Every structure is written in structure tokens, then in C-alpha cells.
Structure 1
Amino acid sequence: MGTEKWITPFLKQCFVTAGVSLNMAGSGLVVGFTTALLQQLKSPGSIIPIDDTSGSWIAAIPGISLVFGNFIAPTTMSRYGRKSANLITIVPLMVGWAAIYFATNITVLLLARFLQGLCMGMCTSLASVLLGEYTSPKNRGVFLMTISVSIAMAVMSVHCLGSYFSWQTTALVCGCISFVDLFIVIYSPESPSWLAEKGKYDACKQSFRWLRGDQEEEELRRIIEASIHLREAKAEMRKTKSVIKKFRNKVDDFKTTVKKKEFLKPIIIMIHIYILGQWSGINMLVAYPIDLFKKMVGKDCNIPLLVLTLDVHRIIANTTALYVIQKVKRRTILGVTVCINILALLASAAYSYSKENGYMPADEFSIGISIVHIHMFAVATGSLPLCFIIAGEIFPLEYRSLAGGISVLFYSTNLFVTIKTVPLLLSTIDLYGTYILYASLMVYSLVVVWYLLPETKDRTLQDIEDEFRGRPLSPEELKSVQLLASLRAYTTDRRCSNPVVV
């Protein structure tokens, strides 16, 4: 009895969050690993010699496989469950680290990084959805924020390991972290929302009460009631015998569904949220910090130490944001941090331009270091973590998997483009031109998000969904909302690749 009182629902939510966050930390390890890997491969005597072109592909190829992971994740988590999908994402990551450890040529490295990107794409689609369904509304923001904290700690860890050990040893340690995560996920429960969607109401109640206790019965009741209506709507659609008529009905309903605000607005918001996150300069700070400090500070400073202090700052900023996210509204954090981020990008551009053209002493570095840290503060407290927080809050249950997968596709695209183009942009328009481009994209995206995004702090997922819709969903309307899942099942059964489904 004493043990049951000690193991509170909050601690259980911490446990399942650890499984999700460690999986997302794998993304930080993959991106941060680039810094040490490229530096060591470019050094004399490397067993796998590379040039700038092959190095940029090693850094950016996870962004390509992210797209494949995005397409796999929605079907996997919808058909087999959130927990099973989370387990599946860990496997290619572990295989990728093992392949890197034993790699003796660039082809193996590229294949391993491709597998890791596949995992990143799947867990990016899954993590926010899973934590949104696992955790209580009052603590949801903090738990979602742990994604960014875990990624920040992973980046610092892999940078430290890469500074003192070979890239093979670093890959081995990273693989061990994924192995630990595997056991946490195995002992985590399935998502109550997914169990309700599949009609497993007893299992849903058991999972929900294990996670939340008995203080949130109203949300449990609403989840089950909505699921019952949805299953009845699907059963009604199956009564039609004609395959042609079924297909026509589904296409008609699909056309109706994609025009609905509760389907389109969250996708549009997340597309621009991901632009804010990926064009904030985070990949310059994480994947190319050495190049950044050479431009902002110079080659004579202790750059490895500067990189380490930047990683520590990111963890402190992320941890501080855990408190802020509990006290301050989402829109306020978004507006303030993104504006600071934009100003930091413009200040970096002005500073680097001044040093390049002799308007500032060559031995001056304190201002440059300060600007880089202000930039990191803005990214770590708002621009990047809000991607995961808002993604876990705004997608309606009926098409959470598909809508999340569609929006994360743009996350993948932006990640690949930003990482792949850094060497090209630095060699053509230099750091100042690159950061002016980043700032322009962020201004545009902030305007769109500010106009469309409602406040989500301390609200249930159902309340947020109702606001996008403009009112609670009536039972009659649920028939058309279920088209996406039904059409996906229909096409899968016939093994066809209808582009409308994608």
C-alpha cells in the first residue's frame, strides 16, 4: 500500500515520458554526432577520407530518410498502437549506431545515417502525439518540454564524447543509450486514446487510470464517448455493399473533411511552426558550431570550449523553460522568444559583416560570443521546443496520426534543406547573408502562426479541437470525420497507392 501511494500518477507519467524523451534524444545524438564525425574524418590519416561535398551529405542525409519515417509513422501508430510504433523507431537507430561503429567506408556511413534519419522521422511524428495522450493537461507542457531538454543534453553529451574519444567509441556509447530506452518503452503502457479508438474500452480505462489516477474521469468519459460515436459511424459506412459506391462515398467525405478548419488549420500552423524551429539557426548552432564560431569569433580562440559552453547554455535554457512553460501562455512565449531569435540573427549578420569588412577589430570576440549565446537562449526557450509542445496539443484525435504525419513532412524537408545548404550558403552569401535569409523566413512564419494559433495552455485536447471547429462535434458530423482512417484502411486492403491518401 505504501508503495502504491509513493508511485503516484505523476511519477508514472515521468516514467513513460522518459521513454519518449530518450527516443527523441536519439535525434540530438544523430545531429550532434555530425560535428565530431566530420572533424575527425577530415583530419589527416582518417580511415574514411572525405571532402566538403561528401561531408555535407553525411550531415544532411538523415533529413531525406526523415521523409520516409514520416510516411511510415502514421500508419504504424494508427494500426499497431503508439507503444509498438515507439518500439519500432528504436530498432533502426540501434542498427545505425552499430553500422557506424563498424564502418570502413563512406557507403556504410551513409546507409547508417539513412537508418538513423528513418528513426528520427518516425519518432518526431510520434513523440508529441504520445506525450499529449499520456499526460495530464496541467503538466502536459512540462512533459512536452522534456523533449527539448533531452535533445539538448544529448547534443552536449555527443559533443563532449566527440572531443575526447574517437567517432567509433562515441557511436558505441550512443547505441547503449538507445538500448536503455528500449527497456523503458517495453514497460510503458499503450496510449488510452488509441485503445479507445480500437474499441478496447476496459484496457483504455486501465491504462488511463494507471497514468492519471482517478481524478480525471471526465476526460476519460469524453474519450470513450467520442470513440463509440466514431466506431458507430465507421460501422454505418461499411453497410454499403457496392465497392464503387463505398469508394465514391469515401471520396466525397474526404473532400468534405479536408475543407474543415479542424483538419487544415492545425496542419497550416505546424508547417509554419516547423519553419520557425528549423530556420531559427538551430542547425548552425548544433551541426556546424565550429564554422559558426570561426565566422563570429575567429580561429585563434578555444573553439571546443566555446562549443561546450554553448551546449551547457542550451540545457540551462531548456530547463528554465520547463518552469516558464507552466506559468506563461504559449502565444506569449512564442512571440517573445521568436522576436529575440530574429533580432539575434540580424545582430549576428551585422556583426559578422562588420568583422569581414574591417569595421570591427579582428581581435574583438566578446560581442560575438554574447550574440551567439543570446541566439541560443531564444532558440532553446521558445523557437525549437514550442514545435514539440504545440504539435502535441493541436491535432484532433480523429486524424491525429495523418495530420501529424503531413505536418512533420515539412519538418523533415526543412531539416534536410537547412543542414545541406549551410556549406553552400556560407561559401556564397557568407554568414550574414545566410542569417538575413533565416530571419526573413521567421518573420513570415511568425505572422502566420500568430494569426492562426489559439491559446492551448492548461486546456484539454478536446477543448482545443472544439475551438478549431468552432463548436463541439455533433454525432452526425462524425461520419465524414472518420473518412481518413476508413479510406486508408480501404486502400491498404487492396494494396493500391492512391495519391489522394498520401
Structure 2
Amino acid sequence: MYDKYFLRQCFIASGIIFQAFCGSMSVTLPSVLNPILLSPNTSDIKATSYEVSWLAACNSITGLVGYFVLSPMMQKIGRKMTHFSVSVTVAIGLIVLALAKNMVMLFIARLIHGLYLGSIFINSIIACEYSDPKRRSYMVAIKKLSVSFGVLASHTLALCWTWRQISIFSIFPAIIAMIINWYWPESPSYLALKGKIDECRHSFYWLHGKSGEKEYELRILIAAQTETRLKNKLNKSNMVIQLLHLCRDKAFLKPFFVTTVLLLAVDASGRFYFVIYVTQIIKEIVGNESSAAYCTIFFDIITIVAIFASLFVIHKFKRRTVICCSGFMSGLLMIIISILIYLKSQFVTLLYLSWIALSVIMIQNFITCIGLIPISYNIIGEIFPLEYKGSGPSFSGISFMTFYFISLKFTPVIIEEIGLQGMYFMYGLSLLLCIFVLYYILPETKDKTLQDIEDEIRGIKRTTVEASKC
């Protein structure tokens, strides 16, 4: 017998998946576009290496704007319409990109796509709020899987299509995401926060059913958010006082610090700079552009296999264990990669060192994608209390965009100044330091409801009697 509630949650997830797919294609396009812009043989738009590095990193500027616009929007107008508006924005950016005739239009398209970056945490939050606690990690992992498929599609289509054709193709998943999104119910968590109790119950029952366990979960949700709403009414104040309150509230500071360290770890592991500069990195190791293009596609396939494998890992092991183990191994492998690339530069005749280095990079990428990356975004979507689902992602967005901008803008500079081996050593050491900190501060969230996680962050222990009062 089929589970209609599982199918309904899959329907919600499909809207997130299509948006993540087209969004990742738009974000990854510089890896396809940059070599063409720099090529002396191109008959299309031409650019300098300085312009190309800014083109790769400029979306972090509007990404920061996106965090400060979309996160409060999510708290004001709801999850459904915020998600819909992001899909519309991605589609507009892709249309501008496909019609671009000069560098100015390319920069405009890239800046528009930066707003999608501001929705990365929001999509994780939405996936967590709409799904069952036991399925929550799968939903977020599948979202990451769709991102990897988008990256693979972008790199593969580049072998036979122009970047304009890829841009046009990417518009259709965005349209599908809009259509699916239009038929979503609103998130029960958002409705509870806004005091729309009857609508909250209707949405919750549609998604989860009316079993005894779910009834208890719903009562706890309504009780907690009623309490939060009453507290907010009593503490209405101006923005400065609210900001001071955030700086003193442990329920905000702890998730913010955990999120910042997780983001730094994810960035250091190569989540963004490797995806954007993968062709250049591989070309520098193997010395052949054609081999680098095919190796790039192979790496994308490895990433997809890793995220599929992460579904099993997420089910079997605790989040803390997986992040600490995969992060430590990834950092250690990056140090080994650094040593191998250095040896290759010293012993040029030993060609097999290039392929050993590539193999270790592949293993490092696999380990990172099987644990650190998908589970980090899962925790980021879970850890902020519902009261701070707007301000939390906004302030975390500052950390994310700072790391994103630095890694994309300065990775080419780092490679030029201290070499590929220096880059891997620096990022590997940074990752190991992050894992050391996370070992002491990261909470366990596996199989817990979002309300259980919030209560743990706040240091609250609820009883069955409290829930029954609602």
C-alpha cells in the first residue's frame, strides 16, 4: 500500500529539486564561459583574466542582498511565495544571459543569479519544514543531488552546445519549479508562527496525516510558537534593540557560530572554487585541455555517486560522526594532494605523479560529497529556531558570501602566487582547523523534530502535559 503523505512530501521536494537543478546550472556556467571568454580564437564576447575573475565572484554581492531580502520575505509572506519568486528570478537571469551581447550584460545576468545564492539556506529550511523528521535528511540530500546533476549537465552540454544554448535549456526547469510551487500548501511551521492555527492544522495533516505521534508533534509545534508569539508581542522594540537582543540570545548565537564554522569548512573543502575552476585545476595538473574537459565530467559523475551514497550514510550514522570523520579525512587528503603536486613540480619526468594526484583529488571530492557537504547544509536548515529563520540565514549569509567571494576571487591569485600545491595546503589546513572546532560545538540533530532541536538549543525540556494543553 502506497504512503500518500510520502508522495505529497515528494511533490514538495520536486519543486525544490527543479529549482536547484536550474540554479546550479546558472551558478556553474562560468566554468564553461570563462575559457571561451579568455580564448584568443573566440568570435564571441572577449574578456581579460581580471574581468573573468570578477565575473565568477560578482554574484556574491547580490547573493548577500538576497540573504537580507529573501530571509525576511520568507518570514513575512511565507515559504511558498518566497520559493516561487526565486524561481522567477533565476529564469530572468538565464534569459538575460542567453541574450548577452557584451560583458556588461554578462555581469548583469551574473548579478541576478547572485540572488539565487541568497536562497540556498532558505531551500534547506523549506525542505526541512515540509518533510517528516525521519525523511528530512534524505530530502536535503536529494536537493544536493539535483545540484550535482545541474553541474554535470552544464559541463556535459558544453561539449556540444554553446553557453547561450545551455542558458536557454536551463530556463525550462525553472518554469517547471514555478508550476509545482504554485500548488504547494503553506508550511505548517510558518502558519504556527503567524498564529494561523486552523490553516496550520490543515497543512500539517495534508503533509503528515493524523496519527497519534503526529498529533503530539503538531501540539508541541503550536504550543512552542504560541509561546514565541506572546513573547515577541511583549518585547516589541526598534531595530537597534532587536539587534542587541540577537547578540545576547544564546538561541541565536550558538546556531550562528555553528553555521559559520560549517560554511567555512564546506568552502575550504572545495565546494565552490573547485566547481568553478575545476577545468583550470585539472589542466594545470595533466597539462592537456582536452583531457581536463573529460576529467571534469568524470569528477561530476563521481560527485553524483557520492551524494547517492550519502543517502545510506545519513540513514546509518549520526550527523556529528559523519561530518567530523569526512571533514578530517578530506583535510588530510588535501595536504597529501599538496605534497604530490609539489613532488610533480620537482620531478617533471615522473608523469604518473599527475595521475596519482588526480586520483587522490577524486577520493577527496568523493569523501567530501558523501558526508561533509550534504550534512552541513542539512544541519544549517535545521539548527535555527523558528523565530530566527529570517534573521539567522540573513546573518549567516554574510559569512557564506564572504567565504564564497574570497574563494572565487582569490583562488586564481593564490594559485599564481604560491602554486596549486600551496592552495591545497592552505585550504586543507583551514578545513582541519574547522573540524577541530566543530568536534566541540556541533549538536546532534539526527531523527529529531525541528521543535526538539529548537528546545535543545534553548535548553528547554518539554513534557507531555505541556503539549496536551494546546
Shorter-chain TM range is over 0.9
Distance 1:300 1:138, change over 3 A: closer
Match of 2:466 in 1: none
Match of 2:168 in 1: 172
Where do 5+ consecutive residues of structure 2 fail to align?
Answer: 464-470
Match of 1:259 in 2: 248
Alpha-carbon shift at residue 253 of structure 1 (Å): 6.8
Mapped to 1, the partners of 2:441 and 2:260 lie a distance apart of 12
Alpha-carbon shift at residue 174 of structure 1 (Å): 0.8
Aligned partner (choices 196, 205, 208) of residue 192 of structure 2: 196
Give 1:400-479 correspondences, 5 Å limit: 400-472=389-461
Match of 1:152 in 2: 148
Bigger drift between 223-232 and 258-267 goes to 223-232
Distance 1:237 1:289, change over 3 A: closer
Alpha-carbon shift at residue 232 of structure 1 (Å): 2.9
Kindly indicate whether the alpha-carbon contact (under 8 Å) linking 2:344 and 2:354 is maintained by their aligned counterparts in 1.
no
Q: Secondary structure at the match of 1:302?
A: helix
Distance 1:451 1:434, change over 3 A: same
Question: Aligned pair 1:332/2:329, yes or no?
Answer: no
Alpha-carbon shift at residue 237 of structure 1 (Å): 4.9
Q: Secondary structure at the match of 1:74?
A: helix
Kindly indicate whether the alpha-carbon contact (under 8 Å) linking 1:40 and 1:167 is maintained by their aligned counterparts in 2.
no
Match of 1:49 in 2: 46
| Deviations 1:432-463, CA, capped at 9 Å, x for gaps | 11111111211221122211111110111122
Match of 1:352 in 2: 341
Alpha-carbon shift at residue 252 of structure 1 (Å): 5.8
Kindly indicate whether the alpha-carbon contact (under 8 Å) linking 1:274 and 1:411 is maintained by their aligned counterparts in 2.
yes
Match of 2:209 in 1: 213
Match of 1:274 in 2: 263
Mapped to 2, the partners of 1:441 and 1:323 lie a distance apart of 28
Match of 2:220 in 1: 222
Kindly indicate whether the alpha-carbon contact (under 8 Å) linking 1:284 and 1:292 is maintained by their aligned counterparts in 2.
no
AA in 1 matched with 2:159:
S
Mapped to 1, the partners of 2:270 and 2:349 lie a distance apart of 23
Alpha-carbon shift at residue 298 of structure 1 (Å): 2.5
Tell me the TM-score normalised to structure 2 length. 0.93
Question: Aligned pair 1:374/2:372, yes or no?
Answer: no
Bigger drift between 405-414 and 152-161 goes to 405-414
Alpha-carbon shift at residue 236 of structure 1 (Å): 4.1
AA in 2 matched with 1:403:
G
Give 1:301-312 correspondences, 5 Å limit: 302-312=291-301
Match of 1:97 in 2: 94
Alpha-carbon shift at residue 119 of structure 1 (Å): 1.9
Kindly indicate whether the alpha-carbon contact (under 8 Å) linking 1:33 and 1:162 is maintained by their aligned counterparts in 2.
no
Kindly indicate whether the alpha-carbon contact (under 8 Å) linking 1:24 and 1:120 is maintained by their aligned counterparts in 2.
no
Match of 1:139 in 2: 135
Q: Secondary structure at the match of 1:76?
A: helix
Distance 1:341 1:251, change over 3 A: same
User: What RMSD over aligned residues (CA atoms) do the two structures have, in Å?
Assistant: 2.0
Kindly indicate whether the alpha-carbon contact (under 8 Å) linking 1:354 and 1:360 is maintained by their aligned counterparts in 2.
no
AA in 1 matched with 2:172:
C
Q: Secondary structure at the match of 1:437?
A: helix
Question: Aligned pair 1:291/2:280, yes or no?
Answer: yes
Alpha-carbon shift at residue 33 of structure 1 (Å): 1.2
Kindly indicate whether the alpha-carbon contact (under 8 Å) linking 1:131 and 1:144 is maintained by their aligned counterparts in 2.
yes
Bigger drift between 297-306 and 383-392 goes to 297-306
Alpha-carbon shift at residue 292 of structure 1 (Å): 1.2
AA in 1 matched with 2:400:
Y
AA in 2 matched with 1:139:
R
Mapped to 2, the partners of 1:150 and 1:137 lie a distance apart of 21
Alpha-carbon shift at residue 234 of structure 1 (Å): 3.8
Kindly indicate whether the alpha-carbon contact (under 8 Å) linking 1:73 and 1:125 is maintained by their aligned counterparts in 2.
no
Q: Secondary structure at the match of 1:190?
A: coil
Alpha-carbon shift at residue 228 of structure 1 (Å): 2.2
Mapped to 1, the partners of 2:105 and 2:354 lie a distance apart of 40
Q: What percent of counterpart residues are identical? A: 30
Mapped to 1, the partners of 2:349 and 2:324 lie a distance apart of 32
Q: Secondary structure at the match of 1:138?
A: coil
Mapped to 1, the partners of 2:313 and 2:92 lie a distance apart of 37
Question: Aligned pair 1:24/2:13, yes or no?
Answer: no
Mapped to 2, the partners of 1:407 and 1:253 lie a distance apart of 17
Q: Secondary structure at the match of 1:90?
A: helix
Alpha-carbon shift at residue 363 of structure 1 (Å): 5.4
Kindly indicate whether the alpha-carbon contact (under 8 Å) linking 2:251 and 2:457 is maintained by their aligned counterparts in 1.
yes
Distance 1:301 1:369, change over 3 A: farther
Aligned partner (choices 102, 120, 134) of residue 124 of structure 1: 120
Alpha-carbon shift at residue 314 of structure 1 (Å): 0.4
Match of 1:83 in 2: 80
Mapped to 2, the partners of 1:334 and 1:365 lie a distance apart of 29
Mapped to 1, the partners of 2:56 and 2:137 lie a distance apart of 31
Alpha-carbon shift at residue 258 of structure 1 (Å): 3.0
Alpha-carbon shift at residue 384 of structure 1 (Å): 1.7
Mapped to 2, the partners of 1:470 and 1:229 lie a distance apart of 15
AA in 2 matched with 1:115:
I
| Deviations 1:139-183, CA, capped at 9 Å, x for gaps | 111111112111111100011111210011010011112111111
| Deviations 1:9-38, CA, capped at 9 Å, x for gaps | 111111111212322333421232111111
Distance 1:265 1:300, change over 3 A: closer
| Deviations 1:286-336, CA, capped at 9 Å, x for gaps | 111111112322227622211111111100000110111011100111011
Match of 2:231 in 1: 233
Kindly indicate whether the alpha-carbon contact (under 8 Å) linking 2:121 and 2:381 is maintained by their aligned counterparts in 1.
no
Alpha-carbon shift at residue 350 of structure 1 (Å): 0.8
Match of 2:468 in 1: none
Match of 1:490 in 2: none
Mapped to 2, the partners of 1:231 and 1:321 lie a distance apart of 37
Distance 1:205 1:37, change over 3 A: same
Kindly indicate whether the alpha-carbon contact (under 8 Å) linking 1:199 and 1:228 is maintained by their aligned counterparts in 2.
yes
Match of 2:467 in 1: none
AA in 2 matched with 1:428:
E
Distance 1:230 1:306, change over 3 A: same
Distance 1:27 1:375, change over 3 A: farther
Alpha-carbon shift at residue 76 of structure 1 (Å): 0.4
Kindly indicate whether the alpha-carbon contact (under 8 Å) linking 1:139 and 1:326 is maintained by their aligned counterparts in 2.
no
Mapped to 2, the partners of 1:426 and 1:473 lie a distance apart of 53
Alpha-carbon shift at residue 221 of structure 1 (Å): 0.8
Bigger drift between 352-361 and 193-202 goes to 352-361
